[in-house]
C-alpha cells in the first residue's frame, strides 16, 4: 500500500481492516502497518475497521479510539447475526439484511460511531438489493453507501427522496 501511494501519488486510498475481533487486535494491526511504513494519520492515511461481527458494534467506542471510521460489511454481519451461511441450500433462504436484528446492529453502530465523531459507511450488498434498506441507513445518518452500478439510479432516487424528507437533500 505504501509503495502504491508513493509510486502513483494516490493519497486518497484508505485501508479497511476486516474481521478485527478486539480493540487489542486492532492495536496489533496498526502496529504492524506502522512497522511496514503505513501510519494512520500520516500523509492523510485513514484506516477503517470493517463492522462485520458483533464486537465491532458492541465495542464501537473502543474501536473508534483506534480507527478513523467503520464500514459495515452487511453480508458477513447478517450471516453471523443470524447464524447461517447464505449459500447453504438448507438455511440460505433465511438470509436477509432487512431483518430487525441486522437493522438494530447497523443503527447502533452508526449512533455509537457518530457519538465519537467517526464516519460509517456500508460496503455490503444490501443497499443495492434493497433501496428501503438504504433508506433506513440514510434515516439513521449513515455517511456513505456503496452501490452496484445497476442499482445506482434506483437506490439513488430512494436516497434522494429520504434526504429531501429529512431536509438534507
Q: Give the residue, 9 or 62, on which the prediction is more confident.
A: 62
Q: Residue 111: what pLDDT?
A: 98
Q: Where are the domains of the chain?
A: 2-166
pLDDT in tens, 152-165: 999 999 999 999 99
pLDDT band (50, 70, 90) for residue 1: low
60: left (phi over 0), alpha (psi -120 to 50) or beta: alpha
Q: Residue 19: what pLDDT?
A: 97
Give the HSE-up count for residue 169: Cα atoms under 13 Å, Cβ half-sphere. Answer: 15
For all residues of the chain together, what is the average pLDDT?
93
pLDDT band (50, 70, 90) for residue 9: confident
Q: Which residues pair with 16 in a beta bridge?
A: 48
pLDDT in tens, 18-32: 999 999 999 999 999
Average pLDDT, integer, range 87-112: 96
Whether residue 46 has pLDDT greater than 70: yes
How far does the chain reach from its first CA to its final CA, in angstroms? 35
| CA 7 – CA 11 distance, rounded (Å) | 11
2-166: CATH superfamily: Phosphoenolpyruvate-binding domains (3.20.20.60)
Q: What is the DSSP string of 88-139?
A: -TTTGGG--TTSHHHHHHHHHHHHHHHHTT-EEEE-SSHHHH-HHHHHHHHH
Whether residue 62 has pLDDT greater than 70: yes
| CA 113 – CA 124 distance, rounded (Å) | 18
Give CA separation, 165 vs 2, 129, 141, 144, 157, in Å: 42, 22, 13, 18, 12
Whether residue 104 has pLDDT greater than 90: yes
CB 105 within 8 A of CB 76: no
70: left (phi over 0), alpha (psi -120 to 50) or beta: beta
pLDDT band (50, 70, 90) for residue 137: very high
User: Residue 86 has what DSSP assignment?
Assistant: T
Amino acid at each position: 500500500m505504501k509503495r502504491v501511494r508513493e509510486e502513483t501519488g494516490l493519497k486518497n486510498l484508505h485501508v479497511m481492516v476486516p474481521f478485527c475481533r478486539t480493540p487489542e487486535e486492532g492495536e496489533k494491526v496498526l502496529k504492524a502497518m506502522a512497522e511496514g511504513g503505513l501510519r494512520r494519520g500520516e500523509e492523510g492515511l485513514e484506516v477503517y475497521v470493517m463492522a462485520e461481527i458483533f464486537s465491532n458494534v458492541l465495542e464501537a467506542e473502543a474501536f473508534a479510539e483506534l480507527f478513523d471510521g467503520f464500514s459495515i460489511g452487511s453480508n458477513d454481519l447478517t450471516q453471523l447475526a443470524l447464524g447461517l451461511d447464505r449459500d447453504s441450500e438448507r438455511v440460505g433462504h433465511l438470509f436477509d439484511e432487512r431483518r430487525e436484528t441486522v437493522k438494530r446492529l447497523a443503527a447502533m453502530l452508526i449512533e455509537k460511531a457518530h457519538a465519537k465523531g467517526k464516519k460509517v459507511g456500508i460496503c455490503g450488498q444490501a443497499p443495492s438489493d434493497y433501496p428501503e434498506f438504504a433508506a433506513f441507513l440514510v434515516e439513521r445518518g449513515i455517511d456513505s453507501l456503496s452501490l452496484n452500478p445497476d442499482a445506482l439510479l434506483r437506490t439513488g432516487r430512494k436516497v434522494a427522496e429520504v434526504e429531501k424528507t429529512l431536509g438534507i437533500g
